[in-house]
Amino acid sequence: MVTSLVSDAELRRRAWEAASQVVDPEIPVLTIADLGVLRDVTVNDGRVEVAITPTYSGCPAMNMIALEIELSLERAGIARPTIRTVLSPAWTTDWMSEDGRRKLRAYGIAPPQASHSRRALFGEQQVNCPQCNSHDTELLSEFGSTACKALWRCKSCREPFDYFKCH
């Protein structure tokens, strides 16, 4: 256990820093902080609890993420942390950071559109190609390489790409 010489605020800062470095096992260019999966870090009597929210219920990556958080905290000198999965409120792509969206695009995955997009209003969707930025794209399948992504193709450069679906 961490000694009482460390303030709760300092312990929380260290724990947040350690946990925020954990990467998503399905999209390794994103941290769980980029995704908005890392929801909170609390300290009570020198004990650290980390709250995480899955991108969707049943996400198979959550067990690995929880384990990686525990390991990261232990490496930072924070013993026996508690990892708590929080399902409400449900995760939304609005929680994804702008830096995370930029990283997705650079990795070749079209980032999610804002929840106030045309799709939200009219059921229409315009996804730009992350390779050439063309608007001339088409949906191939609602299911991509993982359940949280859809498979699209660019009609200009002809490259297929994943689109991180809005939630």
Please write the tens of the pLDDT for every residue from 43-71: 998 899 999 999 888 888 999 999 999 99
CA 104, 105, 108, 112 dihedral sign is positive
Checking if the pLDDT of 2 tops 70, the result is: no
CA atoms of 30 and 27, how far apart (whole Å)? 6
Find out whether 134 and 161 touch, Cβ atoms under 8 Å: no
Domains, the chain, in order of start with CATH, read 8-91 (3.30.300.130), 97-164 (no CATH)
Q: What percentage of the chain has pLDDT greater than the value 70?
A: 90
Q: DSSP states of 63-125 as a string?
A: HHHHHHHHHHHHHTT--S-EEEE--SSPP-GGGS-HHHHHHHHHHTEEPPPPTTSHHHHHS--
